């Protein structure tokens, strides 16, 4: 019987072919896993008038992964992408101290005629 958290018998970061995985998320059909959600804030709403849209993305995703996902899901080609790490934050809820998880966000710049519609 295996114990949770045990690394016995696991591949430890290797693929089926025995090569070490790069950690990227560019495998087939993973575009929805790269873009977690649109980042809806007051600052993002102001920037959307300048064709700059912000998204919460997977912390392992890179700029190329985000560009591919934007092209597949929304059908527009980004001009530029900036990625920013969102730091861990301490929170207190009902007197219990905890921490929010680390995240990552992407700022996607589009051409003047292009736009993204959020439903």
Residue 105 has a pLDDT of 95
Residue owning tokens 């990552």 = 104
pTM for this structure?
0.68
Helices (H), 1-119: 31-34, 42-47, 63-74
Q: How confident is the model over 20-40, as pLDDT tens digits?
A: 555 555 455 566 789 999 999
Q: How far apart are CA 46 and CA 43, in angstroms?
A: 5
32: number of Cβ within 10 Å: 10
- Complete domains list, the chain, with CATH: 31-109 (3.30.70.330)
Q: How confident is the model over 45-104, as pLDDT tens digits?
A: 899 889 999 999 999 999 999 999 999 989 999 999 999 999 999 999 999 999 988 899
């Amino acid at each position: 019987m295996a114990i949770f958290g045990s690394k016995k018998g696991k591949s430890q970061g290797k693929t089926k072919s025995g090569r070490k995985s790069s950690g990227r998320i560019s495998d087939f059909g993973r575009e929805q896993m790269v873009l977690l959600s649109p980042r809806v804030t007051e600052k993002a709403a102001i920037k959307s008038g300048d064709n700059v849209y912000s998204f919460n993305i997977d912390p392992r995703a890179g700029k190329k992964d985000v560009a591919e996902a934007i092209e597949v899901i929304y059908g527009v080609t980004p001009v530029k992408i900036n990625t920013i790490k969102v730091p861990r934050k301490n929170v207190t809820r009902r007197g219990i101290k905890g921490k929010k998880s680390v995240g990552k966000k992407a700022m996607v710049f589009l051409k003047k005629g292009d736009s993204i519609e959020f439903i």
